Amino acid sequence: MRPARVRRALAAAALCLLPVTACGADGGEPAARPGPARASSASPAPRAADRAAEFTALERAYGAHLGVHAVDTGSGREVAWHADTRFPYNSTFKALLCGAVLKKHGTGAMDHVLRYSREDLVANSPVTEKHVATGMSRDALCDAAIRYSDNTAANVLLTELGGPRALGALVREATGDRLTRMERVEPLLSRWTPGETRDTTTPRRLTADLRAYTLGDVLTTPRRQRLNGWLSRNTTGDATIRAGVPKGWKVADKTGTGSYHGARGDIAVIRPPGRAPLVLTLLSYREERTAEADDRLLAEATRVVVRALG
C-alpha cells in the first residue's frame, strides 16, 4: 500500500467526527469481531474524535479490523479503539507464558533442562530444531519463544505447565484475567477465523496482563527484569511498534501472526526518555482468508497512539 493512499484516507476521515464511544468499550459482552460505532447525542471531545477518524482511516486504507489499547502508566491516560472486542492473540501470548514460567519456578530454576523429541518439532522452530539431542533450559526456551517466536519452545513450556488451559488459569490467578481463552497449542492457535472465541482476548485485557507481568508486582524484581530483557531483545518486531515510535524510545515487545485473515498483533512496553512507560496492545485481522498481514498498519497505529499520549 502506498503511503500517499494512507494519507488521503486519513485526510478524508478527518472530515468526519466519530462518536467518542467508538474509541472506548464496546458495550455488553465482548463481541467476536468489531462492529460499527454507535451513535451518540453527546458531542465528542475533539481529540478523541480525531483519533477515531485516524483509526477508521487506517482500517479503510489497509482493509483491516484494528484493535488498540494503550495506557500511559504515569498519567493514567488511555487510547482505545475496539478495545473490548475479541481478536486472536496469536504468538503474543508467549510473553504471558514466560511470565507464568518465571512466577512458578523463579530465576533460580530457569536452568533446568526440558527434553523434547524430533516428533515434537512444529513449524517455525528455528532455535529448538538445533537442540533436539540436548534439550534446552527453561531460560533458553523462553528466550527462543519470545525473541524468535519459536513455536516448539512455547509448546514445551506449555506442556510442563499442564497445557493452554492450565496457563490460562495461572494468568487468571496472577492478573484476574477471566476473559482470555487459551485452548490450543502452536501452530493450531494461529488458525483462527472470524467469529471464533478460541485463543482470543481483547486489547484492553492484553494490555492489563502485560502491564501486570512487566511493570506490576506479579513477579519479583529479578523475575520481572528477566522477562523485560527477553522482550527488549525481541528480533521480530522491528517493523511494527518499534517502527512507529520516535527515535530514542525503547520498546520491549512480542509480536504475533496468524495463519489466516492477515492476522497480526504486537504488544509492548514502551519507554520514552525521562517519563513513565506506556503499555500498548495492537491486534488486527482482515476479512479475506488468504489476506496477508501488513506491518505498516501497526506502525501507523502506533504513531496515532504516540501523538495522542505525547
Q: Which residues are catalytic?
A: 91
Q: How far apart are alpha carbons 259 and 110 in whole angstroms? A: 31
Q: How far apart are alpha carbons 268 and 93 in whole angstroms? A: 12
Three-class HEC string of 217-258:
CCCCHHHHHHHHHHHHCCCCCCCCHHHHCCCCCEEEEEEEEC
**Torsion angles phi and psi, residue 234, rounded to 5:** -60, 140
Note whether 99 and 230 are within 8 A (CB).
no
For residue 129, give every residue at least 6 positions away whose Cβ sits within 8 Å of its Cβ, in sequence order, or none: 121, 152
492478573: which residue's cell? 175
